Amino acid sequence: MSDNALIEETIVDIADKTISGGALAGLIGWASQINWIGLTGALVAVGGLVVSFYFQHKRDKRESELHQAKLQDLKRQP
C-alpha cells in the first residue's frame, strides 16, 4: 500500500469517527434542548460525511484505474 493510500485510508477512518461523534453531539443537543450543541453536532457530522465521500470517491477512482491497467496487461499476454 502506498503512502498516499495509507494517508487517505487514515483520513477516511477519522472522518467516519467524526460523523459518529457529530451525530452523537447533535442527538445530545437535541435531547437536552440546547440548540447550538445540536447545530454544531449536525454540522460536524455533515463535514465528516463530505470528507469521507471525497476520499472514498478518490480511492474508488484509483482502484478502478488499477483494475483497468491489470485487465490491459492480461489481454496483452499470450
**What nine digits make up the cell of 64?**
478502478
Q: What is the largest CA-CA distance in the chain?
A: 69
For the chain, domain boundaries: 3-76
Q: Residues with Cβ < 8 Å from 28, sequence gap 6 or more? A: 37, 38, 41
Q: What is the pLDDT of residues 23-77, one digit of tens each?
A: 888 888 777 887 787 788 788 888 888 988 998 898 899 889 999 999 998 888 8
Would you tell me the crossing angle of helices 35-76 and 3-31 to the nearest 10 degrees?
150
The pLDDT value given to residue 20: 82
pLDDT tier for residue 8 given thresholds of 50, 70 and 90: confident
Please determine, for residue 1, whether its predicted confidence score (pLDDT) is greater than 80.
Answer: no
